Structure 1
Amino acid sequence: MSTPVATPPPQGRRMVAVALLVSALVALALWAFAWPAARTAPRDLPLGVAGPAAATAPLQSQLEQQKGAFEIHRYADEAAARDAVEDRAVYGAVVVTPRGMKLLTATAASPVVAQLLEQAVAGQAPEGAEVTTTDVVAAPADDPRGSALGASVLPLAIAGVAAGAVVTMLGLRGIRAVASLVLAAALVGVVAAAVTHSWLGVLTGNWWAEAGVLGFSTLAVGATVAGCAALIGPAGIGVGALTMVLLGNPFSGVTSAPRLLPEPVGFIGQLLPPGAGGTLLRSVSFFDGARITGPLLTLAVWALLGLTAVLLGALRRPSAAARDEATTARETVQVA
């Protein structure tokens, strides 16, 4: 006679499931945050080279030997290279003159990249030659390292997740849910601009434009979370939160630059609201709106898809509720 195999009680299985789930989340978080940071390096970083072709050819050849590090753009003179930096076409530019080399940087685009370019160009300069550096678009004096700007991405993502979760838990549907998400995002934008621009001074552009970007970024996250919940239920809150916070935040590249992250992390990050919002905020605040089309379109797509899902979820729920009521009625009749 065989002895029956003992099976763990339900509570034991749940404890094991919780331990495995927490371990998996920790592993995912470490991968998402630590791996990109540990692999930071220039990858096809747009860099300009300006000056006579005969003078710039050796420098360009040396830079291109660092395969995959730089994407070289040629410019006729310093003025053209400066315009390219201000337009965010390149992160910096090396100008070769009879008196030596001059490096144009933009710490407002990324203090990390500016420092990296200084080191790279100094290493390529002839021995004894001095490289002068000009910060074409400087970071704000109150945030020279861009730390405060980088730290603003996570709170906005959390605000968006909170807005989507609260709207879902309060049972708001359809137009009311959409209106609540838009209103919450608008208020977040105003409050965030008041803190980052008016109080901390880490943003220096048009106040209302910055408030609009901050609010739009929040709306893209909040609409996505609420939309996922409307389509697949409360679990959608977790899916949206993990995507926006656990992936969107470390993949955004706001603390360094998207081109410094390993691929495809840098590319994916710019397709998520935190990364697109951070890039858009830099352009609006420091570069007079240069190169805003891509990130603006990304945020619009996320917001539109999320709000559409919220409306579709409202159309599905009444039918589900009606079926539940019909089932309850039949069961009542049978019991009677």
Structure 2
Amino acid sequence: MSATRRLIAVVLLVPSLAAVALWAFAWPAARTAPRELPLGVAGPPAAAAQLEKQLTRHEGAFEIHHYADGTAAREAVEDRTVYGAVVVTAEGSELLTASAASPLVAQLLQQTVARQAAASGAQVKTVDVVAAPAADPRGSALGASVLPLALAGIAAGAVVSLLGLRGVRAVIGLVGAAALVGLVAATLAHSWLGVLTGDWWAEAAVLGLSTLAVSAAVAGCAALLGTPGIGAVSFVVMFLGNPFSGAASAPRMLPEPVGAIGQWLPPGAGTTLLRSVSFFDGAAATGPALTLAWWAALGLGAVLLGAQLKPGPARAEPATEARQPALVA
């Protein structure tokens, strides 16, 4: 490629990447709003029906779940079936939230329900059933952890590929690096910063699995496609996985189908799994755990398959000893 063509490629490539980055990061943030957000309603049938009618005025905003009483509604919040619930009793209405699931959603529910209550002249008591940790009440630290874990996974996969590690050695390197990342990240986030409050070893496992899902995918694509595979997976993780993860808000707060796509990618699945393990005793952890496991398994399988399809150069055979001279008759 001539110097002029390289110059044109640089001039066109940089603005294109900037446009893609702005679209991926700014568009979901600018369109943040509740979309079929699971919300529970409990109480006498007449009062619950009236409340549901008021909530459905926000077309497409809430997905209403009905519960017999406040106890069932609280259990639904703790199980991550709903983000919150409104309980109507004879003494008044009570709003159950879970800021640990999403501080932004908890604030949104308080504003929405309080506004409706004020319009009808009633008061609503708010109860944070599963509160965010005091060290991170807005969930900023948890949201900020998505990018470092993604970068760590990309770096591990790229280093293993560029150093020429293949087959079993590459798998051992990827698993070992991810395990160490999980231990270091848990030490920083749980032991030092105090932004995670669950079981330490479970959190370390989740952080390590999130890293392995990315690094295995990078190394696996590199083993099958060569160096371009590193760039392809890095693009998907950085430009789609991070902004579509819903870490700063919630998947149901992102435009469709962005929220669903994000949960099928390692950053989104890892964030959801970390919230479940750290704040909800593992509730609703099966789905994101399987997503990360599939990414890791397919990536490691591709690493092994690539070693079989593209075997390394054969070693030179050692020189054989010279034949003994024939006996002279």
1:201 aligns with 2:194: yes
* Cα contact 1:59–1:124 (8 A) shared by 2: no
1:30 aligns with 2:22: yes
1:258 aligns with 2:251: yes
Q: What's the TM-score, normalizing by structure 1? A: 0.92
1:94 aligns with 2:95: no
1:68 aligns with 2:74: no
Give % identity: 72
1:120 pairs with one of 106, 109, 112? 112
1:104 aligns with 2:112: no
> Within 2, Cα distance between the matches of 1:193 and 1:254?
18
Question: How far is 1:182 from its partner?
Answer: 0.2
Runs of at least 5 residues in structure 1 that lack an aligned partner in the other structure: 1-8, 326-336
> Within 1, Cα distance between the matches of 2:238 and 2:186?
21
**Match for residue 213 of structure 2?**
220
1:316 aligns with 2:312: no
1:21 aligns with 2:13: yes
Deviations 1:247-276 (A, max 9, x none): 101100011000000011000000000000
3-state DSSP class of the match of 2:310? helix
- 1:71-220 to structure 2, matched below 5 A, reads 71-125=63-117, 126-220=119-213
2:41 pairs with one of 29, 34, 49? 49
3-state DSSP class of the match of 2:131? coil
> Within 2, Cα distance between the matches of 1:61 and 1:303?
45
2:232 pairs with one of 239, 254, 265? 239
- 1:319-334 to structure 2, matched below 5 A, reads 321=313
Runs of at least 5 residues in structure 2 that lack an aligned partner in the other structure: 317-329
3-state DSSP class of the match of 1:94? strand
Question: How far is 1:143 from its partner?
Answer: 0.3
3-state DSSP class of the match of 2:60? coil
> Within 1, Cα distance between the matches of 2:96 and 2:284?
19
The root-mean-square deviation of aligned C-alpha atoms, in Å, is 1.2
> Within 2, Cα distance between the matches of 1:19 and 1:25?
11
Give the paired residue count.
314
> Within 2, Cα distance between the matches of 1:308 and 1:24?
33
Question: How far is 1:95 from its partner?
Answer: 0.6
Structure 1 counterpart of 2:92, one-letter code: G
> Within 2, Cα distance between the matches of 1:19 and 1:35?
24
3-state DSSP class of the match of 1:48? strand
Q: What's the TM-score, normalizing by structure 2? A: 0.94
Structure 2 counterpart of 1:212, one-letter code: A
1:39 aligns with 2:31: yes
> Within 1, Cα distance between the matches of 2:54 and 2:47?
13
1:277 aligns with 2:270: yes
Q: Which structure shows the higher helix fraction?
A: 1
